[in-house]
Amino acid sequence: MSLKWTDSLDIALELLEAHPEVDPESVSFTDLYNWIMALEAFDDDPKHCGERILEAVQQCWIEER
């Protein structure tokens, strides 16, 4: 399964697994973007990301944590 920018919850779950020690509320959007891009399952156009997408992923991560 490949992850797209619209898969906020699935991305958040992958980030939770990859960075269990991190408080998602303290992560900058720059770091969040880079960590998403580094996920093995992530496969989408980097240019399709915006602040609203990053906010959605961060919110899902906060809720799942």
Bridge partners of 3? 42
- pTM for the full model? 0.95
Give the integer Cα–Cα distance in Å for 62 and 13.
Answer: 10
Please indicate, yes or no, if residue 39 is contained in any of the structural domains: yes
Cα 6 → chain centroid: 10
pLDDT tens digits along 7-29? 999 999 999 999 999 999 999 99
At 25-41, the pLDDT tens digits run 999 999 999 999 999 99
Q: For residue 52, give the CATH number of its domain.
A: 1.10.10.600
Q: Which domain holds residue 46?
A: 8-64
HEC states along 41-63?
CECCCHHHCCHHHHHHHHHHHHH
The number of domains in the chain is 1
**59: in domain:** yes
Whether 33 is in a domain gets the answer: yes
